[in-house]
């Protein structure tokens, strides 16, 4: 995909991508919980335009005013076996689409160890009074718990294209130059999907969720804290969240140094370019 960035570099864009194994379509209580989260007041900008990916490769587009709590339409989308993915955008115009959601519904499982994924994205600045990035991050934590996510990352980039490329794995170029600052990481994280989240990890980001198995292989929470000095460590039972810096310092040199230290520590569990040999 070739594009030209409409966003100033250095202004934060927050993303999230998580992997899970439980089909949403088979759990009505989970569907109801997801609806509540999708209509939550903590969204800085509430995505409203839904599009369903159909199992035969087609798409069905339908505008759903989520803010008016049209619960039935979303519930039907989650449980309808002809749909396998629900996407909700703020706008069909890429330049205005500053908040988005994409969730696998579980009706079309792959052979991956964690067959389902979800991606979220929001602009991290210019929010209205009463809205903030922390509220959006707390929402991501709630999605982690609701979907029983096994592994996830919460990246921050200085522009939308880099963030989109990272969470979706799509190659995006800006005037022929990769939008992602580390294109090899994007490639490796997207290509080696089979055992992702169970065996190997995605490359660490500003926010990284590790399960107990990952943490044990990396030497334990105490060692991770010693090596990278995270700003925040939060336990979600089977998953632990490591946040490298405060929100205000998310694009700082300090954040980058901690990301590099985390990547070095996690290297034994990261996909390698050597795997192509």
Query: For position 55, what pLDDT does the model report?
Result: 67
pLDDT band at 9 (very low <50, low <70, confident <90, very high): low
User: How far apart are alpha carbons 77 and 106 in whole angstroms?
Assistant: 11
Q: What angle do CA 56, 57, 60 make, to 5 degrees?
A: 95
Lowest mean pLDDT of 7-11, 186-190, 208-212, name the range. 7-11
Q: How many CA atoms lie within 13 A of 31 on its CB side?
A: 19
- pTM strictly above 0.95: no
Beta 83-89 vs 207-211: how paired, if at all? unpaired
Lowest mean pLDDT of 74-83, 131-140, 150-159, name the range. 74-83
H/E segment holding residue 207: strand 207-211
User: How far apart are alpha carbons 117 and 167 in whole angstroms?
Assistant: 10
Kindly list the domain boundaries of the chain, sorted by start residue: 15-22+112-277, 24-108
Beta 173-174 vs 2-3: how paired, if at all? parallel
Query: What's the full length of the chain, in residues?
Result: 277
User: How far apart are alpha carbons 1 and 205 in whole angstroms?
Assistant: 23
Range 213-222 average pLDDT: 96
Q: Are 99 and 92 in contact (CB under 8 A)?
A: no
pLDDT tens-place string over residues 52-89? 777 665 555 444 444 444 556 677 777 777 778 888 88
Query: For position 193, what pLDDT does the model report?
Result: 83
pLDDT tens-place string over residues 259-276? 999 999 999 999 876 544
Q: Are 158 and 251 in contact (CB under 8 A)?
A: yes
Position 5 pLDDT exceeds 50: no
H/E segment holding residue 115: none
Closest of 115, 114, 136, 117 to residue 125, by C-alpha = 136
H/E segment holding residue 159: none
Q: What angle do CA 155, 157, 163 make, to 5 degrees?
A: 70
User: How far apart are alpha carbons 244 and 260 in whole angstroms?
Assistant: 11
Tokens of 270: 């990261």
Position 199 pLDDT exceeds 60: yes
């Amino acid at each position: 995909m070739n594009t030209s960035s409409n966003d100033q570099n250095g202004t934060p864009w927050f993303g999230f991508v998580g992997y899970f194994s439980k089909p949403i379509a088979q759990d009505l209580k989970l569907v109801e919980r997801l609806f509540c989260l999708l209509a939550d007041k903590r969204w800085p900008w509430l995505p409203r335009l839904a599009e369903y990916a159909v199992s035969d490769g087609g798409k069905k587009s339908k505008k759903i005013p989520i803010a008016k709590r049209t619960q039935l339409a979303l519930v039907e989308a989650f449980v309808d076996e002809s749909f396998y993915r629900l996407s909700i955008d703020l706008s069909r115009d890429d330049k205005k689409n500053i908040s988005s959601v994409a969730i696998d519904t579980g009706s079309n499982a792959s052979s991956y160890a964690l067959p389902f994924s979800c991606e979220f994205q929001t602009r991290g600045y210019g929010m209205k009074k009463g809205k903030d990035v922390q509220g959006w991050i707390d929402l991501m934590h709630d999605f982690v718990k609701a979907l029983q996510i096994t592994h996830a990352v919460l990246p921050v980039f200085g522009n939308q294209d880099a963030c989109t490329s990272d969470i979706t794995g799509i190659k995006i170029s800006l005037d022929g130059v990769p939008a992602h600052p580390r294109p090899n990481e994007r490639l490796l994280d997207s290509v080696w999907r089979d055992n992702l989240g169970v065996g190997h990890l995605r490359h660490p980001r500003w926010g990284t969720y590790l399960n107990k198995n990952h943490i044990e292989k990396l030497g334990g929470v105490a060692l991770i804290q010693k090596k990278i000095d995270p700003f925040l460590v939060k336990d979600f039972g089977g998953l632990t969240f490591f946040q490298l810096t405060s929100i205000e310092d998310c694009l700082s040199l300090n954040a980058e140094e901690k990301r590099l230290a985390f990547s070095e520590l996690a290297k034994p569990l990261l996909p390698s370019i050597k795997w192509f040999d």
